[in-house]
């Protein structure tokens, strides 16, 4: 039976809550409070409770959450912030637009997150903060990162834009550092119907500074003591997020079940490396990312079987044109570069059925059989199935 499995589909999730959304929109219309205001405050309280944190400041996007947090922490020109090259470019952009310089360190290819053992060598007298990314929904190794930060008197800010509800040694992401930044872009695990984001922190003074920064530096109406920006969340997003937040735990459980099914069905295939869940982590599987040796052939084969996949991210940030001036080159971060060549994101969203997952697994198995047969047939000609030098292994 032929099927088509999209990489992600937001429509079934929207359809299931349509009535709730419509009721919420009418409440916003009746109140005529659209930018910031009471609906946003309600969501901030609910999200703080969800993250087991004291304060939530809602802002215009995940990118602005990161940028304003760095500004609020006093990071600026002459400063360096340590982060990873295998992330969405917004992580580095936020550092640059605060006026500081991103300094990259390599990652652990099994968890895809910052390798704490690489941090110390990147610290200079200008280093002010470490910005780990909870990539694909798995927390970085926060105890190890916080220990390095404490030894050197550095701040830590989490990029939690892909990790709503993830846990680290039983603690919720968002309460593991000075501040954690979230995105509610539509495709994220908790996504609105447009752009928004939030900063989560235990630090009341930091939250107050962020409230000023997101509203033109106003402490009270027309009292601008610092320069700020317009980064208010709008009420239409807040009510969508409040409605969806009630279901987030159940959707996360479903993502974890889907990941377990993938693991079960794809076990024992030598050409594919499945994502590991670290012993400290409760992964929320924003993305289910595998590594393969010959990505173009793998993706083409899935595509021709009706299975859509994605790549997050094909080019690490240190090799992007926008960051040429930092002076990195190919080989600067071998593990991140290997991941960039090998990663494939398989279909992942809570409404995927077991039949969908079985279909994806069958398509992958079929690719494996064809690839093995073609290697046998063209021994020596198709060297691509043998490990490339950098990818010393998929393990
Ligand atoms: C989505 C994302 C961002 C940016 O969030 P926006 O809301 O799109 O601005 C930052 N970092 C990571 C890791 C992301 O996935």
Contact call for residues 114 and 91 (beta carbons, < 8 A):
no
Q: In Å, how far from its chain's centre is CA 340?
A: 15
Candidate from 185, 192, 233, 336 with most ligand 1 atoms within 8 A of CB, to mutate:
185
Cα(88) to ligand 1 centroid in Å equals 6
For residue 55 the two structure tokens come to 């304060």
Evaluated on CA atoms 50, 138, 135, 177, the torsion sign reads positive
pLDDT in tens, 318-341: 999 999 999 999 999 999 999 999
Cα(62) to ligand 1 centroid in Å equals 5
For residue 386, name the pLDDT band (cuts at 50, 70, 90).
very low
Q: Is 90 in the pocket of ligand 1 (CB under 6 A)?
A: yes
Mean pLDDT of 205-210: 98
Cα(231) to ligand 1 centroid in Å equals 15
Q: Where are the beta strands (DSSP E) in 150-216?
A: 155-159, 167-168, 171-172, 179-183, 197-201
Candidate from 65, 84, 91, 164 with most ligand 1 atoms within 8 A of CB, to mutate:
91
Confidence check: pLDDT of 384 > 50: no
Confidence check: pLDDT of 381 > 90: no
Cα(182) to ligand 1 centroid in Å equals 7
Q: What is the pLDDT of residue 379?
A: 59
Cα(90) to ligand 1 centroid in Å equals 6
- Ligand 1 atom closest to the Cα of residue 133 is 13
Contact call for residues 132 and 158 (beta carbons, < 8 A):
yes
Confidence check: pLDDT of 395 > 70: no
Cα(19) to ligand 1 centroid in Å equals 28
pLDDT in tens, 71-106: 999 999 999 999 999 999 999 999 999 999 999 999
Q: Is 133 in the pocket of ligand 1 (CB under 6 A)?
A: yes
Contact call for residues 113 and 176 (beta carbons, < 8 A):
no
User: Which range (52-61, 202-211, 363-372, 374-383) has the least confidence?
Assistant: 374-383
* Four-CA torsion 351, 200, 141, 187, nearest 10 degrees: 30
245 vs 369, more confident: 245
d(CA 274, CA 394): 9
Q: Is 161 in the pocket of ligand 1 (CB under 6 A)?
A: yes
pTM here?
Answer: 0.95
Cα(265) to ligand 1 centroid in Å equals 31
Mean pLDDT of 141-155: 98
Q: Which residues contact 392 (CB under 8 A, 6 or more apart)?
A: none
Q: What is the pLDDT of residue 175?
A: 87
Mean pLDDT of 179-185: 98
Furthest-apart CA pair in the chain: how many Å?
76
d(CA 22, CA 80): 46
Q: What percent of the chain has pLDDT over 70?
A: 95
Q: What percent of the chain has pLDDT over 90?
A: 91
For residue 380, name the pLDDT band (cuts at 50, 70, 90).
low
CA-proximal residue: ligand 1, atom 14 (nearest): 161
Confidence check: pLDDT of 393 > 80: no
Q: Within a 10 A sphere around the Cβ of 292, how many other Cβ atoms?
A: 23
Confidence check: pLDDT of 389 > 50: no
Cα(370) to ligand 1 centroid in Å equals 37
Contact call for residues 207 and 57 (beta carbons, < 8 A):
yes
Q: Mean pLDDT across the chain, nearest whole number?
A: 94
Q: What is the pLDDT of residue 203?
A: 97
- Ligand 1 atom closest to the Cα of residue 185 is 7
Q: What is the pLDDT of residue 205?
A: 98
Q: Which residues contact 356 (CB under 8 A, 6 or more apart)?
A: 3, 5, 347
pLDDT in tens, 115-128: 999 999 999 999 99
In Å, what is the CA distance from 43 to each residue of 5, 18, 63, 197, 243?
33, 19, 19, 12, 9
- Ligand 1 atom closest to the Cα of residue 188 is 1
Q: Is 198 in the pocket of ligand 1 (CB under 6 A)?
A: no
């Amino acid at each position: 039976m032929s099927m088509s499995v999209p990489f992600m589909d937001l429509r079934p999730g929207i359809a299931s809550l349509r009535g709730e959304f419509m009721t919420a929109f009418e409440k916003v219309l009746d109140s005529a409070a659209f930018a910031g205001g009471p609906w946003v405050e309600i969501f901030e309280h609910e999200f703080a409770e969800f993250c087991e944190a004291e304060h939530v400041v809602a802002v215009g996007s995940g990118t602005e959450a990161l940028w304003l947090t760095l500004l609020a922490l006093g990071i600026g020109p002459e400063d360096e912030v340590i982060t990873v090259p295998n992330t969405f470019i917004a992580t580095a952009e936020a550092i640059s637009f605060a006026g500081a310089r991103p300094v990259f360190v390599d990652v652990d290819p099994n968890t895809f997150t910052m390798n704490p053992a690489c941090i110390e060598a990147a610290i200079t007298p200008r280093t002010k903060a470490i910005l780990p990314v909870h990539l694909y929904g798995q927390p970085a190794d926060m105890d190890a990162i916080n220990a390095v930060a404490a030894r050197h008197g550095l701040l830590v800010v989490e990029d939690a834009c892909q990790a709503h509800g993830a846990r680290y040694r039983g603690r919720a992401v968002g309460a593991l550092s000075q501040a954690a930044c979230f995105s509610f872009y539509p495709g994220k695990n908790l996504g609105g119907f447009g752009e928004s984001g939030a900063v989560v922190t235990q630090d009341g003074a930091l939250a107050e500074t962020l409230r000023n920064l997101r509203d033109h530096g106003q402490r009270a109406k027309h009292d601008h003591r610092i320069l700020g920006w317009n980064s208010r969340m709008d009420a239409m997003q807040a009510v969508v997020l409040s409605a969806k937040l009630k279901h987030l735990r159940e959707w996360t459980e479903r993502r974890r079940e889907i990941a377990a099914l993938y693991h079960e069905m794809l076990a024992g295939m030598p050409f594919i490396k499945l994502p590991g869940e670290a012993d400290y982590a409760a992964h929320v599987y924003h993305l289910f990312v595998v590594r393969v040796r010959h990505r173009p052939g793998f993706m083409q084969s899935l595509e021709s079987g009706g299975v859509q996949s994605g790549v997050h991210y094909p080019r690490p940030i240190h090799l992007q044109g926008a960051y040429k001036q930092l002076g990195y080159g190919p080989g600067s971060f071998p593990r991140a570069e290997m991941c960039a060549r090998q990663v494939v994101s398989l279909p992942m969203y809570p409404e995927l059925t077991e039949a969908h997952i079985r279909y994806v697994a069958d398509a992958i198995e079929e690719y494996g059989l064809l690839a093995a047969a073609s290697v046998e047939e063209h021994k020596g000609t198709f060297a691509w199935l043998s490990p490339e030098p950098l990818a010393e292994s998929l393990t």
